[in-house]
Amino acid sequence: MSMTFAVAMAELKKMGTAQNVKIYKRHGAGDNLFGVSFANLYKLQKKIRVNHDLAVQLWKTGNSDARTLATMVADPAQLTPSLADQWLTDIRYYGLADLLSGLVARSPIAVQKRKEWMESPEEFVRQVGYDLFGYALKNGDGIPDTDCRRILKTIEAQIRRSANRARHAMNGALIAIGIYRPALRAEAIAAAHRIGKVEVNHGETSCKTPDAVSYIQKALARKKK
pLDDT of the residue at 139:
95
Confidence of residue 193 (pLDDT cuts 50, 70, 90): very high
The tally of CA atoms less than 13 A away on the side-chain side of residue 93 is 20
Average pLDDT over residues 132-155: 97
pLDDT of the residue at 90:
98
Burial class (CB in 10 A: 0-12, 13-18, 19+), 101: buried
8 A C-beta contact, residue 63 and residue 12: yes
Q: How is the chain split into domains, by residue range?
A: 1-74, 80-225
8 A C-beta contact, residue 126 and residue 91: no
**Burial profile 52-73: b = 16 or more Cβ within 10 angstroms, e = fewer:** bebbbbbbebebbbbbbbbbbb
- Alpha-carbon distances, residue 219 vs 80, 148, 182, 213, 222 (angstroms): 35, 19, 13, 10, 5
- Alpha-carbon distances, residue 87 vs 1, 68, 116, 190 (angstroms): 27, 11, 15, 36
Average pLDDT over residues 64-74: 98
Q: Terminal CA-to-CA distance of the chain, rounded, Å?
A: 46
Average pLDDT over residues 205-224: 94
Q: How many CB atoms lie within 10 A of CB 173?
A: 28
| SS3 category, 83 | helix
pLDDT of the residue at 1:
60
